[in-house]
Amino acid sequence: MKVLVTDPIIARFTPLLEGGGHEIVLFPGRPDEEIVAALPGTDVLVCARMTEEMARAAGPDLRLVQCTGAGYERIAIDALPPGTAVCNTFHHGRSIAEHVLMVALMLSRKVLRRDRLVREGVWESVAAEPSLPLGDTLAGRTLGLLGLGETGREVARLAAAFGLRVQAVRRDPAAPLEEGLRLDRVLPQDGLHELLATSDLVVVTVPLDERTRGLIGAAELARMRPTAILINVARGPVVDEHALYEALAADRIAGAGIDVWWPAPEGVARGGSTLPFEKLENVVLTPHNSGHTVETFECRARDIAANIAALAEGRPLHNVIR
């Protein structure tokens, strides 16, 4: 089979995709027109993004579109022929969970401010200034989860290990939890405001859809404690951009960790924000890389290789979206 790989990260793990005697064609980060030209005769497209033009160029020969992550919102699924399967892969939960706890500690202990001041020669410490506020431990505090998918479950496990109480909102609060996973409280979806009002850390892990777009707006942020921290590792538009900036700038919440951003405005090459979050001291900003570890992508590459082998051998595929 011909396997076309356009994702630059998975292309780094090509040795894990080889071994089945297939033709592996690497086109990482190439312009759309080059990918379109290379698609005819392709059996498997390994990608994070596929346009309608790419789907038309591949035609009915394309048997599998293998997403290189969990998200598939950039895959033009409706443009594919009925017989083309679409699959995704995960394995990012633990890496993102570690990022969440790291950011929570950084914000609770004001690490960015302390680091900057030390570099400037300023020793801001209660040992020198007894009136300064002390930091907080995470143990004994309450973490509220929006979403109990892979990432939410791993955040819950790691948070519990840190001594945090963990609560979550869930579509079906009575549904059994995964073995070994314990939460202090599970609320129905209409319990969101209660969760926000009773959490010291609020972690957003829900997928982006029409139900969750703008889920956290001005009214929801107003429900949070002034000492609370919001960490978004889901998708930017789940949280209202302007409402979040205003809440942070006015110190209505204590801080935020932003790893996911908002769609780029017309004429801008990449996503981000038109608001000056970078000027705020109570934020930790990262470029959507909370899940970017060797472990994540090695496991994803192995998943992709397994699906390629399954397709070649006529066995069922894993993580089928359609």
Report pLDDT for 263: 86
**CA pair distance 179, 181, nearest whole angstrom:** 6
The helix or strand, by DSSP H or E, that contains position 3, with its residue range, turns out to be strand 2-5
What does the pLDDT average to over 97-108?
98
SS3 311: helix
Predicted confidence (pLDDT) per residue in 126-144, tens digit? 999 999 999 899 999 999 9
Evaluate if pTM is beyond 0.85: yes
Per-residue pLDDT band at 312 (split at 50, 70, 90)? very high
Cβ neighbours of residue 117 closer than 8 Å, sequence gap 6 or more: 123, 124
pLDDT above 70 as % of the chain:
98
pLDDT at 265 over 60: no
What does the pLDDT average to over 105-125?
96
> Which residues share a beta bridge with 285?
258
Q: Residue 34: how many CB atoms within 10 A of its CB?
A: 11
Farthest-apart Cα atoms in the chain, separation: 71
Which domains occur in the chain, in start order? 2-90+294-313 (3.40.50.720), 93-285 (3.40.50.720)
What does the pLDDT average to over 303-307?
98
Report pLDDT for 270: 61
pLDDT at 256 over 50: yes
The gap from C-alpha 152 to its chain's centroid, in whole angstroms, comes to: 10
**CA pair distance 146, 166, nearest whole angstrom:** 11
Amino acid at 76: A
Per-residue pLDDT band at 230 (split at 50, 70, 90)? very high
Predicted confidence (pLDDT) per residue in 148-168, tens digit? 999 999 999 999 999 999 999
pLDDT at 267 over 50: no
**CA pair distance 165, 207, nearest whole angstrom:** 23
The DSSP code for 125 is: -
Mean of all residue pLDDT scores within the chain = 95
CA–CA distances in Å: residue 58 to residues 81, 88, 196: 9, 19, 47
SS (H, E, C) 203-223: EECCCCCCCCCCCECHHHHHH
> Which residues share a beta bridge with 255?
229
- When mean pLDDT is compared across 260-264, 265-269, 283-287, 290-294, the lowest value belongs to 265-269
Cβ neighbours of residue 46 closer than 8 Å, sequence gap 6 or more: 3, 4, 5, 6, 7, 10, 17, 66, 68, 304
**CA pair distance 108, 98, nearest whole angstrom:** 15
Predicted confidence (pLDDT) per residue in 242-251, tens digit? 999 999 999 9
> Which residues share a beta bridge with 231?
203, 257
Report pLDDT for 276: 96
Let me know if 138 is exposed, middle or buried by CB neighbors in 10 A (0-12, 13-18, 19+). Answer: middle
Amino acid at 218: A
Residue labelled with tokens 């033709």: 23
Report pLDDT for 12: 97
Q: Residue 56: how many CB atoms within 10 A of its CB?
A: 14
Amino acid at 208: L
